[in-house]
């Protein structure tokens, strides 16, 4: 190496030495961090092993307690026992009652925030727990609500009345609610057979399995033809209300001999469950608040599940659109005002509603209209 190169290396030596010392310090710090991380890893590994051991022990303990409950706890065969069991476990598993409320909400399809629009706009439901919300829900479900105009406004506020908890319908609802809640919490194996569960001495099976009437409502449309004047007037449910007796008589006159016992169910070809539970289905009309509606009057044995009710509605829609209703819509009824044509046609089963669904839809629409007016 030349003398010039040696001189250059001599001049650069301090900088190289400084950089080397810096790298060595960084390496030392990295090694210390690595050692610290390794210690932390070992600690976390130990914590994980201990937590895993506790979890395994808790799982085995839960299984043992469950087995003990199965062996020593009497079956929850009455509503009182189910409520007492729920109240015992709820401080730990459902402290605010939201499991109870959400189960009831799913059962009824009622959302208090939509049903009680004025109260919702005031923020009344925001701080409520599940038990408080359940009271509003059950009041809506069982019609224990009065409405009054808020002073100085055009809006209605709700006044809750006491729900008749002694009514068979309410007791059946409560039995179903607590059965579903306890099953959801993992205690389904403690429940007694559903058909023998009793509510305050009354067997729910007797309530659910008796023959009851179910009405399914749908919109009506019609037209009034005056051949002499070559004029046709379209009619909705309000216009058809004046012809209620004429339509009822015509429905009766068109009943076929094979329909005397079961009505339109005589040609039902759907599921066996629906065929067994729906004893009969007779089309009719009924006036509600000045509007004439189509109504399928059904005799039900037992209780329809949501899927079975949906199937029955679809069958009604099919009968109205393509079978019985198609012929009925094409035949005129002679009146002093001209020939009357009436159609039960409906777009789908979705527009066929039970009385409760019809009332809730009307109430929700009314509340939303008022809420919309208030927001403006």
**pLDDT tens-digit readout, 133-185:** 999 999 999 989 998 888 888 888 999 999 988 888 888 899 999 999 999 98
The answer to the question of residue 336 being in a domain is yes
Question: What's the pTM value of the predicted model, to 2 decimals?
Answer: 0.50
Tokens matching residue 282: 């007779």
Do 191 and 83 belong together in one domain?
Answer: yes
Do 94 and 182 belong together in one domain?
Answer: yes
The answer to the question of residue 63 being in a domain is yes
Domain count of the fold of the chain: 3
Do 222 and 331 belong together in one domain?
Answer: yes
What are the angstrom distances between the C-alpha of 209 and each of 199, 204, 291, 300, 303?
A: 15, 8, 33, 9, 7
Do 217 and 352 belong together in one domain?
Answer: yes
**Max Cα distance, the chain (Å):** 131
pLDDT-wise least confident of 129-133, 226-230, 245-249, 250-254:
226-230
Do 60 and 93 belong together in one domain?
Answer: no
Would the pLDDT of 69 be above 70? no
Do 217 and 353 belong together in one domain?
Answer: yes
Of 181, 209, 237, the last residue of a domain is 209
C-alpha 121 chain-centroid distance: 22
Do 39 and 64 belong together in one domain?
Answer: yes
Residue range 287-320, pLDDT digits in tens:
998 999 999 999 998 888 888 999 999 999 999 9
Parent domain of 222: 213-357
Do 34 and 159 belong together in one domain?
Answer: no
The answer to the question of residue 367 being in a domain is no
The answer to the question of residue 368 being in a domain is no
Tell me the β-bridge partners of 341.
223
What are the angstrom distances between the C-alpha of 368 and each of 25, 63, 252, 372?
A: 71, 49, 39, 6
Do 182 and 126 belong together in one domain?
Answer: yes
């Amino acid at each position: 190496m030349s003398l010039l190169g040696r001189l250059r290396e001599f001049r650069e030596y301090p900088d190289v030495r400084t950089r080397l010392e810096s790298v060595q310090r960084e390496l030392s710090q990295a090694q210390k961090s690595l050692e610290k991380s390794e210690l932390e890893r070992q600690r976390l590994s130990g914590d994980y092993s201990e937590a895993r051991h506790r979890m395994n022990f808790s799982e085995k303990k839960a299984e043992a307690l469950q087995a003990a409950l199965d062996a020593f706890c009497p079956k929850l065969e009455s509503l009182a026992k189910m409520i007492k069991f729920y109240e015992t476990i709820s401080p730990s598993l459902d402290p605010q009652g939201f499991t109870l409320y959400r189960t009831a909400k799913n059962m009824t399809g009622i959302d208090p925030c939509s049903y009680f629009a004025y109260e919702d706009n005031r923020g009344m439901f925001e701080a409520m727990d599940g038990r408080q919300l359940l009271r509003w829900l059950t009041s809506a479900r069982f019609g224990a609500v009065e409405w009054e105009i808020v002073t100085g406004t055009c809006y209605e506020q709700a006044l809750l009345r006491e729900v008749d908890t002694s009514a068979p319908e309410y007791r059946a609802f409560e039995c179903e609610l607590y059965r579903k809640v306890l099953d959801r919490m993992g205690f389904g194996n403690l429940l007694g057979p559903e058909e023998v569960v009793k509510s305050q001495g009354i067997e729910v099976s007797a309530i659910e399995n008796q023959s009851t009437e179910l009405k399914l409502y749908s919109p009506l449309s019609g037209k009034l033809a005056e051949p002499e004047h070559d004029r046709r007037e379209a009619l909705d449910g309000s216009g058809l209300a004046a012809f209620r007796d004429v339509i009822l008589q015509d429905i009766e006159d068109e009943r076929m001999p094979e329909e005397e016992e079961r009505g339109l169910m005589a040609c039902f070809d759907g599921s066996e469950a629906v065929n067994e539970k729906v004893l009969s289905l007779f089309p009719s009309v009924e006036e509600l608040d000045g509007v004439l509606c189509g109504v399928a009057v059904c005799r039900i044995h037992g209780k329809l599940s949501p899927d079975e009710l949906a199937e029955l509605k679809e069958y009604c829609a099919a009968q109205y659109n393509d079978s019985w209703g198609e012929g009925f819509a094409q035949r005129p009824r002679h009146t002093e005002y001209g020939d009357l044509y009436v159609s039960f046609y409906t777009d789908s089963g979705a527009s066929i509603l039970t009385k409760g669904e019809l009332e809730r839809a009307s109430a929700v629409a009314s509340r939303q209209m008022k809420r919309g007016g208030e927001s403006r």
